[in-house]
Amino acid sequence: MKRPTKAVNCFPGFIKPQLATLRTRVPKGDYLHEIKYDGYRIQLHMNGDNRKAFTRNGLNWTKRFSVIAGAFDIPGQAIVDGEVVIVHEGRTNFSELQADLARGDQDRLLYYAFDLLWLDGQDLRKRPQVERKAMLQGLFATYHLDPPILYSEHHDGNGQAMFEAAAKLNYEGIVSKRADAPYRSDRTEAWLKIKAVQRGKFPVVGFIKDPTGVAALYLGKQEGKDLVYMGKVGTGWSRTASSQIRKALDTVVSPKQKLTKAIRKPKATWVEPKFFADVEYRDITSEGLLRASSFKGLTLKK
């Protein structure tokens, strides 16, 4: 790989990431199509022996991802955009990732690199997407980078075929990127995300206990002044994550359910709707309930 030989700029700090715009159809034309990973967006900075890892909001998470940062073993300077994931049962799993990070465990972390923003003093952001990816792939080939660092492969042909394959494998979807577009620190039409599944945040209104955590979460949805029942989710968490969910919900237990229209669930422990469950689902049934739902994370209501 031919690397830039003349440093023309000072090494920058965190670069605000480019974000994808949600679309329902795969675009036609000159696009690079990549798998959409379900993890943490991380920007790696390599400057000699100095390594840093930043979240999409610019937080320095180098300690949390020290193994990955150290594994990107190249000389000189580079800034790489990518996603930290855990692959569980054949697909990236955000709940497993959260549980491992809560324990400080980095053994299963993988980093899919999908863009190269800077190399040896050269700001590459104005170069076409396809050229940046070729240079990134060249880094992998030149320096024999191996897991936990991985090059994010792309398909530049029929994006619809890739989307359908991703859906069959239960991936979240694909990201389609214009081959001739520069990198822009904003949400743009040059990057489009097409989801094979829907995703939303739903207030947790109750749960079913199991010996070490939760067996299922009951979910609601705010419709005007009403809090309506949306069904339950009972998959998507590890044993560790289940225990963490239980500890959080035990702090907001309520003697009565908070749904506007009460439902009968004899095994339920009701809670104040202070926490939101991040849930993937295929669609909503005619009864207004989530179908084929899977838990992705728990957040405190702001």
Q: pLDDT in tens for each of the 302 residues of the chain?
A: 655 554 456 999 999 999 999 998 999 999 999 999 989 999 999 999 999 999 999 999 999 999 999 999 999 999 999 999 999 878 888 878 888 998 999 999 999 999 999 999 999 999 999 999 999 999 999 999 999 999 999 999 889 999 988 888 878 899 999 999 999 999 999 999 998 877 899 999 999 999 989 999 999 999 999 999 999 999 999 999 999 999 999 999 999 999 999 999 999 999 999 999 999 887 677 688 998 899 999 999 87
Boundaries of every domain in the chain: 19-195, 198-300
User: What is the predicted pLDDT for the residue at 7?
Assistant: 46
Does this model's pTM top 0.85? no
Q: Looking at 2, 28, 36, 209, which residue is catalytic?
A: 36
Residue 59: what are its φ and ψ, rounded to 5°? Answer: -75, 140
Residue by residue, DSSP assigns 101-148 as HHHT--TT-EEEEEEEEEETTEE-TTS-HHHHHHHHHHHHHHHT--TT
- What are the tokens at 31? 């696009």
User: What is the predicted pLDDT for the residue at 1?
Assistant: 61
Q: Do domains 19-195 and 198-300 have the same CATH topology?
A: no
Domain at 19-195, CATH from 3.30.470.30, 3.30.300.30, 3.40.50.970, 3.40.50.300: 3.30.470.30
- Catalytic status, residue 36: yes
Q: Side-chain half-sphere of 222: how many Cα atoms within 13 Å?
A: 10
Cis peptide before 255 (omega within 30 of 0): no
Query: What is the dotted CATH code of the domain comprising 198-300?
Result: 2.40.50.140
